[in-house]
Amino acid sequence: LFMAHQDVVPVVKGTENDWIHGPFSGDVADGYIWGRGTLDIKNMLIGELESAEYLLEHGKQFRRTVYLAFGQDEEVQGTGARAIAAYLKENNIELEFLLDEGGSLSNGDVYGTDIGIMNIGIYEKGYADLKITSESYGGHSSNPFDGTSLGHLAKAIASIVDHPFENVLPECAKETLRTLQPYMKQEPLRTWASDIGRYEKEIIGYYLSRRELNNQIHTTIAPTMITEGSQAGNVMPQRMEAVINFRLSPQDTDASVLEHCRKYAGGLKCEYIVANEASRQSRFDTEGFEALRSVLTHYFSDVAVVPSVNTGATDARSYEGVCDCCMRFGPFMEENDIKAKGVHGTNERISIRAYLQGIRVLIRFMEQTC
């Protein structure tokens, strides 16, 4: 199953004139294809169609059934992917593997190596928005007896943030370390990676110290929203609300996260707005994973292909009931600065070079596996 999604995020109102080419123009100019979705993720959608079409035009005789699945609402609800997955389930169709958007190429500096790292996402963290509500009498600020709703809310948020979740080194992180260990030049990480069982505590400490790795080993806590307080500096607000976003690691559930928050919220009301647990961790000892590894190392030198965690959500999680090898990887190697500023941003674009190179990867992968 080859996946992507049809929908794109909107263009922020008032920024249309900041685009060099219209956000929905699809212009091909200056060596780039311009427009919303060129990086997320129409490149994958059209690339998969072009790859299948190319193979058919050149007489490819497929030995397997190839499915192309493009949900229409991945950015908001994912109902399309769930409907497709339900259809497959109802018709007793089990997939050998699926390929969806996700990981990409990163440098190996954080692991003490100078080779590139191709990160194949084999699971994704969960997502939860938790609302905390604080209420008090309000009134004149000259008599803040028993505190204010804002003060109580601030204490609750600080207490939750100050009590982080358990750190667990996931299996994909261990496999990454095992794969990269022969290429590592940095000590003591090279020694630690040679005996993960013995040095797991030290490795976790290292992950905690690195911005690039920190969020892989625990459920993250990020206060993101707070309601406006009173309209005057001398008036205490009666009701205050805040939202904390959590990205759940597999060792935590929505129930355990809620219990954790209630424990440290000082009696304030805690309730979910939305809560989804982490996806199942897919197998990576499969034909599909090894074929993708083979294709990537064919086209790119000095790289290691490793299983990894996706910290963002994709439609792939909807297919767990019909597939035990869900791979999340985008083969379009655009420059980091263009990706960082372009995905969901202004002047989203993909270079023709990166687009064609990604299609070559998809063609070879489809040819080898199907």
The first and second tokens of residue 296, run together, are 């990537």
Q: How confident is the model at residue 140 (pLDDT cuts 50, 70, 90)?
A: confident
Q: Of all residues in the chain, what percent carry a pLDDT higher than 70? A: 100
Name the β-bridge partners of 120. Answer: 307
Mean per-residue pLDDT, 28-41:
98
2-124+279-369 CATH: 3.40.630.10
Q: Is residue 36 classed exposed, middle or buried when 0-12, 13-18 and 19+ CB atoms within 10 A define those classes? A: buried
Q: How confident is the model at residue 52 (pLDDT cuts 50, 70, 90)?
A: very high
The second-level CATH assignment, the architecture, of 126-276 is: 2-Layer Sandwich (3.30)
Q: What is the per-residue pLDDT for 244?
A: 98
- All CATH 3.30.70.360 domain ranges of the chain, comma separated, are 126-276
Q: How confident is the model at residue 230 (pLDDT cuts 50, 70, 90)?
A: confident
Q: How confident is the model at residue 178 (pLDDT cuts 50, 70, 90)?
A: very high
Cα–Cα distance list, 210 to 86, 96, 166, 216, 308 (Å): 40, 35, 17, 10, 16
First-last CA distance in the chain:
10
Q: What pTM value is reported for the model?
A: 0.89
- All CATH 3.40.630.10 domain ranges of the chain, comma separated, are 2-124+279-369
Q: What is the per-residue pLDDT for 9?
A: 95
C-alpha torsion angle, residues 5, 248, 310, 206 (rounded to 10):
160
Q: How far apart are alpha carbons 144 and 68 in whole angstroms?
A: 61
Q: What is the per-residue pLDDT for 231?
A: 87
